[in-house]
Amino acid sequence: MSRHRSGRNTSRRDGTAQVAGLPVNKNDEVMLDIIGMTHEGEGVGRVEGFTLFVQGALPGEKIRAKVLKTKKQYGYAKLLKIEQASGDRIAPPCEIYDMCGGCQLQHMDYAAQLAWKRQLVVDNLERIGKLQVAGGRSEDAQTSGIIVRPTLGMAEPWRYRNKAQVPIGDAEGGLVGGFYARGSHRIIDMETCLIQHDENDNVVRQVKEIGRRLGITAYDEETGKGLLRHVVVRVAFVTGEMMVVLVTNGDRIPRKDEWIAEIRRELPAVTSICQNVNTRQTNVIFGDVTRTLWGSDVIYDYIGDVKFAISARSFYQVNPAQTEVLYGKTVEYAGLTGNETVIDAYCGIGTISLFLAQHAKQVYGVEIVPEAIEDARANARLNDMNNVVFEVGASEDVIPNWKEQGITPDVIVVDPPRKGCDARLLETILAMKPEKVVYVSCNPSTLARDLRVLEDGGYRTVEVQPVDMFPHTVHVECVVSLIRE
């Protein structure tokens, strides 16, 4: 049997397990040429054909690395020394970047980040969707195919997040809060985060300090004891209003009135203080019960000319500047003239629906979360928009009912979660036969899979516009224009 095909586990004298027949073993030091980067931002290198993934390495670099772990087909290594650096490498400005898991690409020049994100989209379209991209890597794609535009980035790609969700833990000095360390649930205490709005940093810092003074305990994942699990802060970029949500492991907050008074005194911009109760042993941040401790139940903000009421658990895009870019492109691809009927599947709190309603004759929005639909209806009333109808339910159930009622859309817009569209929704779209489909995606792999289904059902993917909603992370959003052949 060839040594490269053997998958038997053996043991070294130092007690570490290894896979027999591989060119490298755990703790080996190797020289690597980095030939690419994974969708999680890890550098890809090879030793005698065996693939190693290296956190922090960039394409084009020659590095020295230590093998951490091997499997049959691939392994992981730690970057020890950069022998030859990429021209795209920069010094990350964040002091805790090497420890924190919040950003993955701060060591990469921003223009290079944008180019990599576009290529990530192209690779997924070609590899998973088997789609032909203009100027892509396949030989027959040089002159025709789907146009994938350059990624739309930010002029100032820092301090863009309007929402902070900070896990809280205990240390010798009292409460700590920040991001989880890469690949763990160990909390890295953080005073400032360069992708958060400055005020979010300030609020988290003050809430931790007030909690320390009042002797508030932090929730312990292992024991299930302790009170404060997360501090969630929202800031409205346009109105300046702020909301603080204390996520607690139980109903009772010791010294609650003092805590509220201290937050109000130290943080006058805060207009809403809420409590969310989550007693489950889970990684999910929010529990089912939310109550307002002081101030308003919501804060208000704008995307373009549309005003939104945002509650503690509302889904609302975290980068308002790029959200306007994303939605503007959605309206452009929908090609609205004011006479169209539009269906918005996965409408959430109505953000895209209300954007579309400014340019369409009638918009129908559907969402499976009842609270989101309540918010959507409230937001329609807030903006005096009477040409929008919202309904609770699964898109694949509600949209066929609308069809039976004689509602025939000219355009269907989908903005699904990371797992992509439900298969039955794609079948529904193909049965409804709108002239145009606009697909807003936060995951290039499920986007490519769903586009293949729509293409096989009679649609042609015309253009893809990547949008950088989350600079310095590996995430990329896309807006896609499809027309029925």
> Which residues are catalytically annotated?
442
Tokens of 292: 């307002």
Instruction: For residue 61, give the nearest of 88, 84, 30 by alpha carbon.
Output: 84
201 vs 162: CA distance, rounded Å: 11
Q: How far is CA 163 from CA 178, 195, 234, in A?
A: 13, 10, 4
Nearest to residue 306, comparing CAs of 385, 243, 234, 252? 385
Contacts of 158 (CB under 8 A, 6+ apart): 194, 195, 471
Strand-pairing partners, residue 58, are none
CA–CA distance from 317 to each of 83, 266, 392, 447 (Å)? 40, 27, 21, 19
Closest CA to 378 of 402, 401, 353, 359: 353
Handedness of CA 42, 47, 51, 52 (dihedral sign): negative
How far is 49 from 4, CA to CA, in rounded Å? Answer: 10
At position 246, the amino acid (one-letter code) is: L
Residue linked to tokens 């980095």? 34
